[in-house]
Structure 1
Amino acid sequence: MRYDPVKDQLGRILGRHPLLERVFFALLHLIFLRSWHVRRALRRILIRWPSDQPVRVLDAGTGFGQYAYYIARRYPQAEVVGVDVKAEYLERARRFFAHTPLAARVRFEVDDLTQLRTEGPFDLILAVDVLEHIPDDQAVLRHFARVLQPGGFVVIHTPSDQGGSDVHAPGMQSFISEHVREGYSRELLEARLREAGLEPLESHYSYGPFGSLAWRLLVKRPMLWLNRSRAAYLLLPLYYALVLPIGLVLHVLDLYQDNRRGTGLLVVAQKPHTTVSTR
């Protein structure tokens, strides 16, 4: 299934006016469980940040810019740089932020994470469902370590290898065909972070039993309908009116349950204050 074209179409429809763009961002944060886990991780880091001390954030693979908007709006001391390889995404994000009071603290640049040119140092790097799209993920992590301030943090969310990308058996095709890999094990992603010079602090699975059911109800089924026919847009408001309350309860259960398994993986890592030579 082609996931990005449907997502892009929704973005174009709801991005025609700044108010609709805000509604679109709110819906993304509400419907996608990964946003619940990511925002909790961000709060745990940034709530301790001194209010008079600027925090530089790199939103790596910013897409529509919804996380850049969330961070800049919630944390007045935050300065956000959003980068992506898709210039059309960034141009629309710039137009949206130009109509907000946040424009002075958020900028967007076209950049390839495997050849990152955007200069740091950053205090926090966010990469939400990005690494699974990039063949040379190790180059990305090395660049993260290079531009990160000593003591700075990286927050990564990605599909896991336990059914990430909605793959449940060997040989099955990914539900999201834009992914270059099905996902990561906790051990593999932690090992690659360490190889890049970053120390994992926290890792846990998202999209456990409750979250996976919410994914099928709130994302997969509507996406399948929209792939088949645009007429599905007319049915979605009624559908979500019925299933959204159930999906939100499932999100809360997933967020506060210690998932032993899950199709998503969230890892928080930190760049050590001092680098110890391995020679």
Structure 2
Amino acid sequence: MARSTGAGLPRWLAKSPRMSHAELEPGYTRESSGLFVRNGLSEPPGGFDARTIRVLANMQERHFWYRGRTKLLLDVVSRLLDTHFKGRSVEVIDFGAGAGGFIRSLTRELPGRFSTLAIADASRAAIEEVHTLGLLPDGVTRFQVDLLDLGFDSRWDLVFALDVLEHVPDDDSAFCQIAAALRPGGLFVMTAPALNSLWTSNDQMAGHFRRYARKDLARRASTAHLELLDARYFMFILAPALWLSRKLARAPKSDVEIRAHLERTHRVPPAPLNSALAWLFELETPLGRRLEFPWGTSVLGVFRKP
């Protein structure tokens, strides 16, 4: 895949928002590649490596689970841009962005709504692989960060952490760091696995420390001095089948087996099955505007900084 130079790219890529390379980010050093690195950062173990990023990049826009989650998020964000931000252009960062799939979706589906788009991750290998593969729209800024020491002070209008915080041991501190990064009136949108009653060996293999109930989001909001605007479960229709398939699966024992299992979970199902599952999952977005699902395998939270 060609690098994202802007030449010969689809219009939604070529016209993406830009951040001036002369702009300084306090607490960060800008490297020659354009990557902003948190000063004094000590990269934690784990995180996505280059191989995993390639797997994710190959399947994110096709896999039914990502398609369903993205449809929900785009619906939520579109409404927030119109009602909360009143149509003005906003500065956005996606923490734990992985292969950058959600930022690509924002750029493609909501063009011209963002003055700045940025991705951030703790893994340098992940960020560099995303850049090397040319996966980012032109002008997207890259940060290597520590969620427990972000160093941003009222910097962003809209922050995302999508299926990230369940991987953080001290998520209270991460919530507080994200709150500090928001401008007054700014919004934080998160998704995470829902309900500890749905815990399986798959959570342990994926490096999860917890699953969240809606009441957990309310408590985190209070700790970080944020206002919880919305907390809803999703992945409701397919939840029984997904939970049962994971519950009945034999738990891998060796590191090799665990790696193979995680790679299998990121494979796109056969086309007819994948399309049917995507249709069912995407159906939740219009239904969710009228109904409150009592539970689901995932939860979405929207927080506001006063």
Q: Same fold (TM over 0.5)?
A: yes
The structure 1 residue matched to 2:141, chosen from 107, 110, 120, is 107
Kept in 2: contact 1:58–1:122 (CA 8 A)? yes
In the alignment, which of 219, 231, 247 is matched to residue 277 of structure 2? 247
Residues in 1 aligned to 2:86 and 2:222: alpha-carbon distance in whole angstroms = 28
Matched, 1:90 2:127: yes
Letter in 1 for 2:214: R
Question: Does the 8 Å contact 1:198/1:271 carry over to 2?
Answer: yes
Pair 1:69-2:71 in alignment? no
Gaps of 5+ in 1: 15-20, 168-172, 273-279
1:117 aligned partner, one-letter code:
G
More helix by share: 1
Matches within 5 A, 1:258-269: 258-269=292-303
Q: CA, structure 1 residues 240+77, in 2 after alignment: closer, same or farther (shift >3 Å)?
A: same
Alpha-carbon contact 1:163-1:262 (below 8 Å) kept: no
What is the Cα deviation at residue 45 of structure 1?
1.3
Q: For 1:218-269, what per-residue CA distance to the aligned partner results, in whole angstroms no more than 9, with x for missing partners?
A: xx98xx999659xx89xx77x5223123202320343325310112111111
Map of 2:177 onto structure 1:
143
Shift of 1:215: 7.7
In structure 1, how many angstroms separate the alpha carbons of the residues matched to 2:65 and 2:206?
20
SS of residue paired to 2:302: strand
Does residue 198 of the first structure (1) align with residue 226 of the second (2)? yes
When normalised by structure 1's length, the TM-score is: 0.73
Of residues 206-215 and 77-86 in structure 1, the stretch that sits farther from structure 2 once superposed is 206-215
Offset, 1:40 = 2.2
Code of the residue aligned with 1:213 in structure 2: it is A
Q: Distance in 1 between matches of 2:244 and 2:53?
A: 21
The change in CA–CA distance for 1:263 and 1:160 in structure 2 (over 3 A counts) is same
- Whether the 8 Å CA contact 2:154–2:184 is kept in 1: the answer is no
In the alignment, which residue of structure 2 is the partner of 1:34?
A: 69
Structure 1 residue 45 and structure 2 residue 73: aligned? no
TM-score with structure 2 setting the length: 0.68
Are the counterparts in 2 of residues 38 and 157 from structure 1 also a CA contact under 8 Å? Answer: no
Q: Is residue 192 of structure 2 the alignment partner of residue 158 of structure 1?
A: yes
Amino acid at match of 1:138: D
Confirm or deny: 8 A CA contact 1:153 1:269 kept in the other structure: yes
Please say if residues 95 and 121 of structure 2, whose CA atoms lie closer than 8 Å, have aligned partners that are also in contact: yes
Name the residue aligned to 1:18. Answer: none
Query: AA paired with 1:58?
Result: I
2:205 to 141, 165, 177: 177
Alignment of 1:265-276 (within 5 A): 265-272=299-306
Structure 1 Cα separation of the partners of residues 75 and 242 of structure 2: 18
Contact map agreement 2:237 2:281 (CA 8 A) in 1: no
